Amino acid sequence: MKLVLHSYTFRRYPLRHVFAVARRYGWDGIELVHFHFDPARVEDEVADAVALGRRYGVGVHCVGYTGDFVSDDPQARAASLALAERTITAAARHGVGLVNGWSGTLERDPDDWRRNGSAVAEERHYARAAEGYRRLGAYAGRHGVRVGVEVYPGSVHDTVATTARLLAMVDHPDVVATADPGNAYVVSEPDRDPAVLDQLAGRLGYFHLKNLYPDGGRADFNVDTAEGVLDNYAWITRAASLGVPAICVEYCGDGDPHPPISRAVGYVRGCLALRDDLDRRHAAAEAAPVTEALPAGQPLPVAEALPVTGALPVAGALPVVAAGSGTGR
C-alpha cells in the first residue's frame, strides 16, 4: 500500500517544499491539487510537477480536479467536464494513474454541512453527476487512468451511502470511490462507523485520512491524526482489508503543518504493523492446543512464542502522530 502526502497540507508553501518534505519523511508520493497548479494550464503544470518530483525522488500519485457537473448551467457543465478530460490526458501522459475530486457542490448553509449536498440534492443532480462520471470513466479507461469520486461536503456524494448510490448509477470500473471519513463525520451518523466502508467493497480506489473534533455543523481539523473523534486505527485497517491501494494523509488545520505531518507516516505504518502483529497472535492463539484449563486471570502463553516485528516504541500503544487528510481538498 502506498502512503501519499496531500499537497493541500502545505498550501501556503511552494510545490518544491511539498516534494522535499515528502522525501524527508518517507512518503511514497503526493496528491497534487489546484493550490499548487493552474488548472487552466493543466498540461504544462502536470508536466512540470512530475519533472520536479523526479528531481526530489517523489512521484505524483494523483492529480486533483474540481467539477461542476451538477450545475443548472449546461455550458458550465460542459466546460467542467472538458477540463476534467484535459486533466486525465495530462495525468496519463506522465504515468499518473489517478485523478481525484468531486462533481460540484450544492450549498444552502456554509456553516452547517448537514444542510448542504445530498440533503438538498434532487434526482436531476444525481442524474447529471452520473452522466458526467460515465463520460469521464469511458474517457479515463481509454487512457489507463481511474477517476476518484471523493466523499466531499456539499456534494451529492457527501456520505459513503450517497457515493455508493452514485457509483451504482455510473456503473463504470474506472470510476472509483475516495473515502474520507473526516469529511462525512458531521454530515452522517452512519459515517462514524468504519463498517460503512463495506458499502464500497470492490470500488474503494483511494482513501483520505485525517481526524477532527465536531464544531456544530462543521469540522475542526486542528488535530493530529491519532487524536480527535475518529478511531483511525479502525478506519485504516478496514480500508486495508478492502484492498485500498493508497492512503493519503492531509493536515487541514491552522499553524505549522510540519509537526503533525512528520508524525503521520509513522502513525499509519504503525497501525498496519500492529494489525499484522495482532493477526499473527490471533492465528497462533487459535491454533494452539489447550490441554488443560489455566487458572483464572492467567494469559495464554502466546506472546512469548511469537517474535515481535514492527513493534512500536511503547509496548501496546500507538505513537501519537500526524494530522490527517483534508476536507476533500
The CATH number that applies at residue 199 is: 3.20.20.150
- What pLDDT sits at residue 292? 60
> Which of 6, 2, 1, 38 shows the shortest CA–CA distance to 180?
6
> Which of 195, 321, 219, 304 shows the shortest CA–CA distance to 269?
321
Q: Which domain holds residue 52?
A: 2-276
In this predicted structure, the answer to whether residue 304 has a pLDDT above a threshold of 70 is no
Confidence of residue 239 (pLDDT cuts 50, 70, 90): very high
Q: Which of 118-127, 283-292, 300-309 has the lowest mean pLDDT?
A: 300-309
Distance in angstroms (rounded) separating the CA atoms of residues 120 and 156: 8
All cell numbers assigned to 288: 494452539
Classify residue 310: in a domain, yes or no. no
Classify residue 50: in a domain, yes or no. yes
Classify residue 296: in a domain, yes or no. no
Separate counts of helices (H) and strands (E) for the chain: 8, 10
- What pLDDT sits at residue 307? 47
> Which of 71, 65, 324, 318 shows the shortest CA–CA distance to 185?
324
Classify residue 75: in a domain, yes or no. yes
What is the pTM assigned to this prediction? 0.88
- What pLDDT sits at residue 182? 98
Q: Which of 14-28, 248-262, 287-301 has the lowest mean pLDDT?
A: 287-301
- Mean pLDDT, all residues of the chain: 91
All cell numbers assigned to 74: 449546461
Q: Which of 97-106, 129-138, 302-311 has the lowest mean pLDDT?
A: 302-311
Classify residue 29: in a domain, yes or no. yes
Task: Identify the bridge partners of residue 102 per DSSP, sorted by sequence position.
Answer: 66
In this predicted structure, the answer to whether residue 312 has a pLDDT above a threshold of 80 is no
- What pLDDT sits at residue 329? 46
Classify residue 40: in a domain, yes or no. yes
Confidence of residue 298 (pLDDT cuts 50, 70, 90): low
- What pLDDT sits at residue 120? 97
- What pLDDT sits at residue 8? 98
Task: Identify the bridge partners of residue 177 per DSSP, sorted by sequence position.
Answer: 149, 204
Q: How many domains does the chain have?
A: 1
Cβ proximity of 196 and 242 under 8 Å: no
- What pLDDT sits at residue 73? 97
All cell numbers assigned to 310: 514492527
Distance in angstroms (rounded) separating the CA atoms of residues 329 and 322: 17
Supply φ then ψ for residue 244, to 5 degrees.
-60, 130
Classify residue 292: in a domain, yes or no. no
Classify residue 284: in a domain, yes or no. no
